[in-house]
Structure 1
Amino acid sequence: MLALPLSWPLEGRRVVLIGAGDWLARKLTLLRRTPARLSVYTPDGGTFDIETEQRWPEVADLSDATLVVVAFDDRAKAERGAALARAAHLPVNVVDFPDLGDFHIPAIIDRGSLSIGVATGGTAPVLARETRRKIEAAVPPSEAFLADFATRLSPALREAFANVDDRRRVWEAVLDSSAARLAREGKVEAALEQARKDIQNSPSRTGVVHLVGAGPGDPELLTLKALRLLSEADVIVYDRLVGDGIMDMARRDCERFYVGKARSNHSVPQDQIHTLLVEQAKLGKRVVRLKGGDPFVFGRGGEEVEALKAAGIEVHITPGITAALGCAASSGVPLTHRDHAQSVSFITGHAQAPAEKCEAVFGSEGATTKKEGDFEHNPLQLDWDRLAAKNHTLAVYMGVHTAQTISDKLTAHGRDPETPVLVIENGTRPNEKRRLTRLSLLPDALRADPPQGPALLMIGEVASLYTPTAPELGISL
């Protein structure tokens, strides 16, 4: 962001314009739509439909102004106008010479008391105008009625709801109500009456939890519903696997709780996550439990739903693109193919220890007390005969540290040791990395170059369809 867009109140304030010709006329047209008191100086003369003084102002003429706009097509004159404003210690906008000014006036969509500015930091005003045109098409003129309705309702809401969170929640309900629809039709008085009735009859707030899939990492793979819930959430409880940039889409003022888990290092044990979700919902908050991938694919979403329902908390699920689908798309390798794979299985390579051993490994506060590899003593309990079938794709989540067991089990149950394997690390993210190998070589390949981020193993004949787009680690098949 090159510049910070700001909203500058102008009611009852004086704005000084210094300029000539069409440049000055355009700024006059804009500023006359505001409640500012305008003083215009035209050193080069010219006729405008407003009283002007045909001279350069003195510094004393600017004493009670709030800002200055300079509009000349001649740089030397623009520099003189900017120098006058600075001598009066006033911020100045210099039309078409942004390097001379202190601020830029954005391209504006005017909908009454609702105004939308599009700015490029003064570097590309034509781009700003084109973007404004697109936004104008999406924000109909009827929004001016809604803005008038909101302006008039605001004092009553401030008086009725001292708490900012309560007031914001009521605003969101009002703007999605029949009152707002009346306002957009221009029936502002009827809309105000309806809104006051709705507020008086509104039930006490209750909390809700949304389990939301954040997808495999790329923010653009979020669903529209997930994006909306992030913008509405009072609280977000998020995992380590939530991709960079996704949290930037959340409401800036929402509370955020990080509960990320790494192998053998659970920063917050699962039962404490359940307690946190219940506590926040019982405070009447809208909670988003944000999980990498999909909540119901190796994300413990089922456990969290059970805990929330047991506590009487309303819970909703918003699915996300799971890692296997995202990695398949980003690598160009299909999970099924008529010639290579007629079925696919999503499995987890995480070797679950018995309950008593989990306590020893993680400790009551989540501290690691065992060394890496302890889980290897509890081999994966899977249907290896079925998984070892030819022309069957295995998408293995969390399988890096159990790759030796996976390779041994599959080959022991008949899978060809030459079966291709594609390892996709940080799938769909800018730092995605791929390694192509064979089933028999998989453990050595991962030990030689262990993934530093989340990795998916794609085991099966479909991996032979992978075509590297850049120099990558792997073998030729």
Structure 2
Amino acid sequence: MLYAPSFGVVAMLALPLSWPLENRQVVLIGAGAWAIRKLTLLNRTPAKITVFAPLADLADAHARWPEASELAEAALIIVAFEDRAMAEKGAALARTSRAPLNVVDFPDLSDFHVPAIIDRGTLSIGVATGGTAPVLARETRRKIEAAVPPSETEVAAFATALSPRLRELLPNTDDRRRVWENVLQSPAAELARTGKIDEAVELALALVNVPRTGVVHLVGAGPGDPELLTLKALRLLSEADVIVYDRLVGDGVMDLARRDADRFYVGKARSNHSVPQEQIHELLVEQARLGKRVVRLKGGDPFVFGRGGEEVEALRAAGIEVHITPGVTAALGCAASAAVPLTHRDHAQSVTFITGHAKDGDPDNNPLLLDWSALSAPHHTLVVYMGVATSKILSEKLMAHGRMPDTPALIIENGTRPNERRTLVSLSTLADTVAANPPKGPTLVIIGEVAALYKDQNAIAGVVEEAVRLNA
């Protein structure tokens, strides 16, 4: 198997955990609004709750500090005081027990932190920052709540009812996982969302022995920035059993994929096709025939110089179901990142995307077959993909067919990524610039009058920065 090396990630400050509380004792020691909020949260759990309120300001609570013996059986203890001295006293009492301790808003006194929680019945989602930024956790929770509809409460109830039935029918964990993945994408889950839990369970059980057919999704990953993924691409990455990806997929995109998906790296570089295209076709067909949901993840858009058309043909010839999810292609993403419009009423009335990469990878023996006269017209933007190796041929052909040598050309390396690099040159100096400092990452070249707008915008930004500096 062709597994990729793992991407580097920032270490988590804390490990989010799910803590069962059914028939277990939880002790709350506190006062005021902080204690009320924690009590409201605990009352949504099946825990046995004991409350101590030394300031006698909470109803139905012991109006005193607890005795050590009253903490001995606690599964966990929460201390909630706004006053630091009171919180420290409560923490010291709690330490007489071995129970894990949370002191609200004082992470240095705590063993664990309570995350910001999205409550969907038996489905609960926690957002944690290791106790360092609770407001950030709450804001993130708000965004997630908008994406997880209240109807998921019904799906959670459906899953709770179905789970013991599936355990009886399917003792093997892998078998159950495959059925769950099938069921949660089936009409049974949609039926559950309407509140018809019993009917949904029966429908799901009827699907247990229905074999799952494989499918391949060709998904555009955009030019590099993970935030440029479409919502559909993000969902498919979270559902995939298998992800087949190339070297143009930006760092951070794979961090958003399902953690336990099988990952196959099939990256290509110029004159170094580590995995031949035919072998990629075979891999996609093989994994789909195993009944898996396969995501073929491609940088940019699958159908813009991404060989997506070839892969669709191969999959359909093999009888495999295939779907396409478009992505932000590099031309659009990189131009926008540099604030360069590809069309402009004063500078360019048309735009053409071309590849500078000959099919067999040898531009000398297989010259680019393009309409150079049309491409050399003034007030026309030319966006060149994979044009680094053929930059000399491109510039010579364009100038020979009438494009002016001083036509602006903007070289964008690693567009939309943190290490993006831009260089504004002229058409006549393009090849020498590339040869003197060869780009190492994915590179796009924008040729035409609009490229000069990058210089103008930088000049304006420089004037503003200088004014700010002088007035500081």
TM-score class, shorter: 0.7 to 0.9
Partner residue of 1:325? 332
Equivalent residues of 1:16, 1:68 under 8 A apart = yes
In structure 2, do the counterparts of structure 1 residues 178 and 291 end up closer, same or farther at CA, with 3 Å as the change threshold?
closer
Partner residue of 2:15? 4
Aligned residues: 448
**Shift in Å, 1:8:** 0.7
Measured in 1, the distance between the counterparts of 2:143 and 2:238 equals: 22
**Shift in Å, 1:135:** 5.0
Q: Secondary structure of 1:404's match?
A: helix
Measured in 2, the distance between the counterparts of 1:407 and 1:300 equals: 25
Work out which of the residue numbers 371, 381, 387 in structure 1 matches 2:369. 381
The answer to whether structure 1 residue 448 and structure 2 residue 436 are counterparts is yes
Q: Which moved more, 1:283-292 or 1:167-176?
A: 167-176
Letter in 1 for 2:400: A
Q: Secondary structure of 1:115's match?
A: strand
Measured in 2, the distance between the counterparts of 1:451 and 1:275 equals: 32
Partner residue of 1:30? 41
Letter in 2 for 1:157: L
Work out which of the residue numbers 244, 253, 266 in structure 2 matches 1:259. 266
The answer to whether structure 1 residue 91 and structure 2 residue 79 are counterparts is no
**Shift in Å, 1:21:** 4.6
Q: Secondary structure of 1:316's match?
A: strand
Q: Deviations over 1:221-278 (max 9, x none)?
A: 2222212211111100101001111111111111111111112222212222112111
**Shift in Å, 1:178:** 4.1
Measured in 1, the distance between the counterparts of 2:427 and 2:57 equals: 83
Equivalent residues of 2:31, 2:58 under 8 A apart = no
Measured in 1, the distance between the counterparts of 2:358 and 2:135 equals: 58
Equivalent residues of 1:41, 1:57 under 8 A apart = no
In structure 2, do the counterparts of structure 1 residues 148 and 256 end up closer, same or farther at CA, with 3 Å as the change threshold?
same
Q: Secondary structure of 1:288's match?
A: strand
Equivalent residues of 1:259, 1:273 under 8 A apart = yes
Q: Secondary structure of 2:389's match?
A: helix
Partner residue of 1:40? 51
The answer to whether structure 1 residue 56 and structure 2 residue 66 are counterparts is yes
Partner residue of 1:363? none
**Shift in Å, 1:141:** 4.6
**Shift in Å, 1:4:** 2.9
User: After the TM superposition, which residues 39-438 of structure 1 pair with which residues of structure 2 at under 5 Å, given as runs?
Assistant: 39-45=50-56, 48-50=59-61, 52=62, 54-58=64-68, 60-129=69-138, 132=141, 136=145, 139=148, 141-164=150-173, 166-197=175-206, 199-200=207-208, 203-353=210-360, 375-438=363-426
In structure 2, do the counterparts of structure 1 residues 463 and 223 end up closer, same or farther at CA, with 3 Å as the change threshold?
same
RMSD in angstroms over aligned alpha carbons? 2.7
Q: Deviations over 1:396-428 (max 9, x none)?
A: 111111111112222222222222211111112
In structure 2, do the counterparts of structure 1 residues 235 and 71 end up closer, same or farther at CA, with 3 Å as the change threshold?
same
Equivalent residues of 1:208, 1:313 under 8 A apart = yes
Q: Give the fraction of aligned pairs with identical amino acids, expressed as a percent.
A: 72
In structure 2, do the counterparts of structure 1 residues 223 and 89 end up closer, same or farther at CA, with 3 Å as the change threshold?
same
Equivalent residues of 1:418, 1:439 under 8 A apart = yes
Q: Secondary structure of 1:195's match?
A: helix
Measured in 2, the distance between the counterparts of 1:428 and 1:273 equals: 27
Letter in 1 for 2:404: D
Measured in 2, the distance between the counterparts of 1:276 and 1:223 equals: 25
Give the TM-score normalised by the residue count of structure 2: 0.86
Measured in 1, the distance between the counterparts of 2:298 and 2:22 equals: 47
Bigger Cα Rg: 1
Measured in 2, the distance between the counterparts of 1:226 and 1:104 equals: 33
Equivalent residues of 1:404, 1:443 under 8 A apart = yes
Q: Which runs of 5+ in 1 are unaligned?
A: 359-373, 472-477
**Shift in Å, 1:69:** 1.4
Equivalent residues of 1:376, 1:402 under 8 A apart = no
Equivalent residues of 1:278, 1:311 under 8 A apart = yes
**Shift in Å, 1:378:** 4.0
Measured in 1, the distance between the counterparts of 2:391 and 2:142 equals: 55
